[in-house]
Each structure stands twice: as structure tokens, then as C-alpha cells.
Amino acid sequence: MSNSLWAIKAARIYAPRAEWKPGIILVENQTIKAVGTPDQVEIPAGVEVIDVGEHIIAPGFIDIHIHGAMGHRVDDGTEATLAIARYLPAQGTTAWLPTLLQPADIPAVVEAMSRQEDGAEVLGLNMEGPYLAPKQLPHEGDISTPVPSEAALLEYFSAAKGAIRLMSMAPELENAYAVIAAMRDLGIVPSVAHTKSGYAEFMRAVAAGAQHVTHAYNVMTGMHHRQPGTVGGVLTCDQVTAELIADGHHVHPVAMSVLIRCKGPQSVALITDSSRYQGLPDGDYGTHVKIGGIVRHKGYETAVDHTLAGSVWPMNHNVANVAELPHVTLVEAIEMATLTPARICGVAGRKGSIEPGKDADLVVIDEKINVQMTVVRGEIAYRAGSAGQQGG
């Protein structure tokens, strides 16, 4: 956009806590200058107005748990991370947390943060590893989890130049509760993940400072009526927020509904947990096989239950899935992909909603959440049908 001042107009704007029908947004440089009905917002003479007609304008999506896409993984390094960032606006994502399993990969992602010039904004890191209880599946061999330590946490934190926003922890690991408390001291949001621990251990982790749950239901103890497990804790404890992989394969729609009805849209963040295979065709990729929207480790092609190897669905698909659940409105589905994740990772002061003074991160969608246009910090980063615009 050559002009530093421009406007965009649509039949509906979902902010998401306020809405205008029709509405108009005035953008100045990287930020939102004004939003309201056409009567409320004064557009100076000569300012370009993009009219997107019957479409909906929402805040750009924020994906706080994603490993890769289009053949790239974040842990491939700096260039791969920047390539993923340039691809994400095509699914409406305007900001994200590259998600790592190994601390050795931190410096390359920090380098990407400092060099980034376009694409979805890297907000910091989500450290899903290394403090996960081993799943002990045959294909994992003998992966060993280091004993959590405050000293190691400080090393990771300084390698990341303080940019770790979220970090996972399995409560059953030795010293886990002390390291959860240490994360809080550093301003990292501690998240319970990949755990065989039960309800009592989960609640002890919350008492120690855990505030969040990594992909609720997946890789954690389920709820039995006499043993409520970690899932029982997630559903009933208002102190924790939760991630949901809403691709339609990782969590049954009924279980998605239960989570959202228990916690509310303000406490559930939609994530992709996408692997490098998102955006690639079905096929045999050596160690992994992609068939019909699911990726499994080779040898597990027909297995069910615990053997999915990451998701391959884009964020707009997941928002559409949730919007189709009974009792969930389109606006609530949008909130779970925008304001809620912004609050969880501490950026709601400048992202997650359409308000004057916030970053001009916008997505133009239709009823089915097909992405028509994406704006990242005031620049058009994607337009449907014109691939050349992407990341431009």
C-alpha cells in the first residue's frame, strides 16, 4: 500500500467483542486509526477505500502452536521459519509462535525474528519441548527427557533473548513444580502437556503456577468418572486456558463442544499444531505418510487413536470447524483464533481485536471462513487468486 492512510469497508466487521454492519476501518501506517459504521468514521478526501462487499472483516488469526507448513519445519532453521511466516497469511494468520521441541533450535528462530520483514509476525517462541513425558511408542526409540532444572531454563531463556512466551511441562517429571514456578518468575506462561499424570498432579501444577494446557485432550490422561485425569482438571479449572486442535481429526466434535462449553471462548485458543506436511499433497514422505488429511508415522497408516503425527490443516479450516459446532457462534469461533490467543501469549495490548491504536492485522473472510485477503501491520500480505501478492 503506497499511501500510508487507507480504509477498508465491509458488510460486517467482527472485532470480535464489538461488531459493525456495515463497518469501515481507517488504517494509518501499521495501525488501526478508527473503526465504526460509515457514519461514525470520517474518511479524509482522496483516501483509497477498499470495499470488500458482503465479506466479513475480522482481526488476523494468531496461531500460538505451529511447527511448520509447505515442507518446512521451524526447526529446519532461520530460512524455513521465514518461509513459513510468508505462507501463513494465506490462511488468515497474521501472528504466530514458532513451536520447538529442542532447545538447540532456539537461536535460529531468534535470528528469524530479528530479520523478519514480511509475512505473519513472529511474536516469540512456544517451547513444547524438551520437558515432555515420553509416549514410549516404538517409532520414538529411546528418546530421553532431560530432568527439568531452573539452571537449564535460564539458559534457554537467555538463548531466546527472553522471547519464550509459552513453555510446556509434564507434571510427573522430577522437579517439574519448581521449574513451573521458575517459568512464572521469568514471565513465561507454563503449560501442562504430554502427560500421564492424573487430576491431583494437574491441580498441583496449577498451584505451582501452570496457566495453560497444550492441545487439550491430546497426549494427556482422559476423564473417567472416578478418575477425572488431566482432562477433568482442564475442563473444571477456571485458572487455566487451553489449546484446541480443531482440525476435526485430533478431537471429536462432541469433545470440542464439551471443552468450549466448560471453559468459554475466552479461555480456549484454536491452534493448528501444523507439521511440515500442511499444504503438501497426499503421499509417502519416507518417515511419514499423508492420506486424507491425516499424517501418521510410517507403519501406522491404518492405526487409530494415539498415532497421529501432527496436524496438516490450516487455521481458517479449524475456525470453520468450530463455527459449525452447535452452541458456538461464528463470532465466538473468531474470538478463539484472535483475542483469546493474544491474551494467552501476552500481546492483547496491541493485537487480537480491531480497535484504534492496535496493529492493523486483519483478515477478510466469507461465511465459510475462506480467506479473501489478509493485512499484516497495515500491508496487504495475501489476496485470494493473486499468489504474487503473498508476502509482498
Catalytic site positions? 273
Q: Which of residues 110-139 bind Zn ion (CB under 5 A)?
A: 128
Alpha helices in 224-346 (DSSP H): 229-236, 253-263, 315-323, 330-337, 339-344
359 in contact with Zn ion (CB under 5 A): no
Query: Of 57 and 183, which has the nearer Cβ to Zn ion?
Result: 183
Residue with cell 514480511: 118
- Find the shortest distance in angstroms from Cβ 67 to Zn ion: 6
Minimal CB distance residue for Zn ion: 273
- Find the shortest distance in angstroms from Cβ 85 to Zn ion: 17
- Find the shortest distance in angstroms from Cβ 115 to Zn ion: 24
- Find the shortest distance in angstroms from Cβ 123 to Zn ion: 16
Scanning 158-166, 220-228, 271-279, 281-289 for contacts with Zn ion by CB under 5 A, the matching segment is 271-279
User: Distance between CA 48 and CA 376 in Å, rounded?
Assistant: 18
Scanning 70-78, 265-273, 360-368, 369-377 for contacts with Zn ion by CB under 5 A, the matching segment is 265-273
User: Distance between CA 296 and CA 68 in Å, rounded?
Assistant: 16
User: Distance between CA 375 and CA 392 in Å, rounded?
Assistant: 11
Residue 339, CB-side half-sphere exposure with 13 Å CA sphere: 18
273 in contact with Zn ion (CB under 5 A): yes
Residue 84's closest CA among 391, 293, 338?
A: 391
Alpha helices in the chain (DSSP H): 78-87, 106-115, 150-159, 176-186, 199-208, 229-236, 253-263, 315-323, 330-337, 339-344
The site that binds Zn ion (CB under 5 A) totals a number of residues, namely 2
Query: Of 275 and 390, which has the nearer Cβ to Zn ion?
Result: 275
Query: Of 113 and 219, which has the nearer Cβ to Zn ion?
Result: 219
DSSP-based three-state secondary structure for 85: helix
Q: Running DSSP on this structure, what letter comes out for residue 24? A: E
Please give the helix or strand (H or E) that residue 9 lies within, else none: strand 5-10
75 in contact with Zn ion (CB under 5 A): no
**Which residues, 6+ apart, have CB-to-CB distance to 313 below 8 Å?**
247, 248, 249, 272, 274, 278, 293
Scanning 151-159, 173-181, 219-227, 273-281 for contacts with Zn ion by CB under 5 A, the matching segment is 273-281
Query: Of 228 and 314, which has the nearer Cβ to Zn ion?
Result: 314
User: Distance between CA 65 and CA 87 in Å, rounded?
Assistant: 16
Residue with cell 485425569: 229
Query: Of 135 and 224, which has the nearer Cβ to Zn ion?
Result: 135
- Find the shortest distance in angstroms from Cβ 109 to Zn ion: 14
- Find the shortest distance in angstroms from Cβ 14 to Zn ion: 28
Query: Of 97 and 289, which has the nearer Cβ to Zn ion?
Result: 97
Scanning 12-20, 166-174, 270-278, 364-372 for contacts with Zn ion by CB under 5 A, the matching segment is 270-278
Scanning 6-14, 176-184, 266-274, 295-303 for contacts with Zn ion by CB under 5 A, the matching segment is 266-274
Residues near Zn ion (CB under 5 A) are: 128, 273
